[in-house]
Amino acid sequence: MGFYLILMGPQGAGKGVQAGFIRQDHGNIPHISTGDLFRAMKTRTDAFAQEIQAILASGKLVSDEITCKMVEERLAQPDAHAGALFDGFPRTIPQAEWLEKYLSAKGEKIAAALLLELDLYDAFRRTFGRVTGADGSSYNIYSNSEGITWNWVDHESKAFPPRLEATVTATGEKLARRADDASADAIIKRLDAFQRDTAPLLPYYEQRNLLRRVDAAQSIEAVTAAIRKILG
């Protein structure tokens, strides 16, 4: 039996970090993020890939048919023979139904749909305030800002809100911010989309007794421990 897990939660809930631990615990199953798979098409110049990029830029969802086809191809790769960790998929009821059918035809099933729950205001602060150093160290203006100098830099013509810049006070190292974290507007749009897309899936997995909720406001270690307890 393979191990198939669905990971859900808003940005900032720690999905990326926890996915790393989950994979380690379960035979290094691949982390399949449909958003990453679509973004990876960016370098392709064919009409199909361009169409996908236009949909991504609009913030709309790619069709269920295309999305499921892509997941099917990904699951056929050898590294996915023992299971997979889904992130950003399923996003709609038809996708959830497709996955259930696809796995059951192979004699497999979903182990759980794990929801990393985080207040959306906290999700915003975790995302907007986070910066990382070249060595992977991470800081946040709202929760972990000691030793860091924070500067709000005005846009030249004030056409956009000020930018947040962070430097390590002792060394002067400039810390990096993920491009998709730097715009408050874009973060709010993604949080809205998460609410909109995930809401219908919760009763779907609840009815199947697969939904497991984890309080993602806890420390990374506490969240990992809670997940390990749930997944046994």
CA distances 89 to 139, 156, 193, Å, are 29, 40, 13
**Which entry of 178, 189, 228, 229 is annotated as an active-site residue?**
178
- Beta-bridge mates of residue 130: 140
Least distance from ligand AMP to the Cβ atom of residue 226, Å: 23
| CA 95/CA 198 separation, integer angstroms | 12
Instruction: Considering only residues 69 through 88, tell me which ones interact with ligand AMP, judged by CB under 6 A.
Output: 88
What is the smallest separation between the CB atom of 115 and ligand AMP, expressed in angstroms?
15
E strand or H helix at 43, and its extent? Answer: none
Please give the full DSSP string across the chain, using - where no structure is assigned: --EEEEEE--TTS-HHHHHHHHHHHTTT--EEEHHHHHHGGGG--SHHHHHHHHHHHHTPPPPHHHHHHHHHHHHTSGGGTTEEEEES---SHHHHHHHHHHHHHTT--EEEEEEEE--HHHHHHHHHTEEE-TTS-EEETTTB-TTEEEEEE--TTSSSPPEEEEEETTT-PBPB--GGGS-HHHHHHHHHHHHHHHTTHHHHHHHTT-EEEEETTS-HHHHHHHHHHHH-
67/139 with CB nearer ligand AMP: 67
Say whether 130 is catalytic: yes
Q: Which residue among the candidates 23, 44, 74, 91 is catalytic per the annotation?
A: 91
Instruction: Identify whether 212 is a catalytic site residue.
Output: no
Q: What is the nearest approach in angstroms of ligand AMP to the Cβ of residue 59?
A: 6
Active-site residue, 174 included: no
Within 133-192, the residues that bind ligand AMP by CB under 6 A are none
190 is catalytic: yes
Interface with ligand AMP in residues 91-110 (CB under 6 A): 91, 95
Task: Return the sign of the alpha-carbon dihedral for residues 52, 64, 193, 99.
Answer: negative
C-beta closer to ligand AMP: residue 60 or 228: 60
Map the footprint of ligand AMP across residues 53-72, applying CB under 6 A: 55-56, 59-62, 67
CB of 60 to ligand AMP, least distance (A): 6
Q: 17-56 mask for ligand AMP (x: CB under 6 A)?
A: -----------------xx--x----------------xx
200 binds ligand AMP (CB under 6 A): no
CB of 223 to ligand AMP, least distance (A): 20
Q: Is 208 among the catalytic positions?
A: no
Question: Which residues are annotated as catalytic?
Answer: 15, 91, 130, 178, 190
Residues that bind ligand AMP (CB under 6 A): 34-35, 38, 55-56, 59-62, 67, 88-89, 91, 95
